[in-house]
């Protein structure tokens, strides 16, 4: 998927320095040990995953987190980052057994079937009988995620097809938060992309993050 807001290309500038170009105007140096394909994936999907965890969810060490669609481009990086950021338990959801196995290989503690029926119960069971602290939701799982969310828990919605409504009274009663994120808004603040990409490139160079292309 290539949009005007995506990482468009890798260029080699004077001196042989590689840069990844984002939205046709933002140039970020590519670290040694990061391939061109990885740099392109990290500049968009990686930046999204980083901000979901750092800026929106404020994931703290030992907190449990659910990553829906965990074998997707964003989800795969989010699973690995959650593990790198010392999450207590990383729970993945996916539609097929092969994709669930992939999520576990990437670092999830457990992966459960993503169908809506009984999803909240499966998430709580996967968290050893406790409600979860953070959920990353690309769309379609908001109600089940809220049902599985602990007090002071946060859900970050980032997909383009979010069409579910949230009753404010329910959030107040549960001391919970639902937060939205759009990658496009980071383009208005280039430092947000640079900060994320710097850490992502460092983790990749160190072998602690394996960016994977989407389907």
Which pLDDT value is given to residue 2? 33
Q: What angle do CA 49, 178, 203 make, to 5 degrees?
A: 15
Which pLDDT value is given to residue 161? 64
Domains and CATH numbers, the chain: 59-183 (3.40.50.720)
Interatomic CA distance for residues 196 and 201, integer angstroms: 9
Which pLDDT value is given to residue 7? 65
Which pLDDT value is given to residue 10? 84
Cβ atoms of 22 and 187 closer than 8 Å: yes
φ and ψ of 151, to 5 deg: -55, 140
φ and ψ of 111, to 5 deg: -130, 135
Contacts from 138-143 at CB under 8 Å and sequence distance 24+? 138/68, 138/69, 138/72, 138/74, 138/75, 139/163, 140/116, 140/164, 141/68, 141/93, 141/114, 141/116, 142/166, 142/178, 143/116
Which pLDDT value is given to residue 6? 55
Which pLDDT value is given to residue 162? 64
**pTM, two decimal places:** 0.91
Low-confidence residues of the chain: pLDDT under 70: 1-7, 14, 160-164, 213-215
């Amino acid at each position: 998927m290539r949009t005007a807001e995506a990482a468009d290309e890798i260029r080699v500038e004077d001196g042989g320095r590689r840069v990844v170009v984002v939205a046709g105007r933002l140039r970020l140096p590519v670290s040694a040990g990061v391939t061109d394909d990885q740099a392109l994936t990290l500049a968009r999907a990686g930046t999204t995953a980083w901000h979901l965890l750092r800026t929106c969810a404020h994931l703290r060490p030992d907190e449990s987190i659910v990553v829906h669609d965990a074998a997707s481009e964003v989800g795969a990086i989010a699973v690995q980052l959650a593990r790198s950021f010392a999450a207590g338990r990383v729970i993945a959801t996916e539609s097929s057994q092969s994709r669930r196995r992939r999520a576990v290989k990437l670092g999830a503690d457990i992966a459960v079937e993503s169908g809506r029926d009984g999803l909240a119960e499966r998430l709580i069971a996967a968290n050893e009988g406790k409600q979860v602290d953070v959920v990353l939701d690309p769309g379609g799982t908001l109600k089940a995620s809220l049902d599985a969310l602990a007090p002071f828990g946060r859900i970050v919605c980032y997909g383009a097809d979010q069409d579910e409504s949230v009753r404010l009274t329910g959030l107040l009663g549960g001391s919970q938060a639902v937060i939205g994120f759009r990658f496009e808004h980071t383009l208005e603040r280039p430092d947000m992309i640079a900060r994320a990409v710097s850490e992502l490139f460092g983790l990749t160079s160190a072998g602690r993050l394996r960016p994977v292309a989407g389907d």
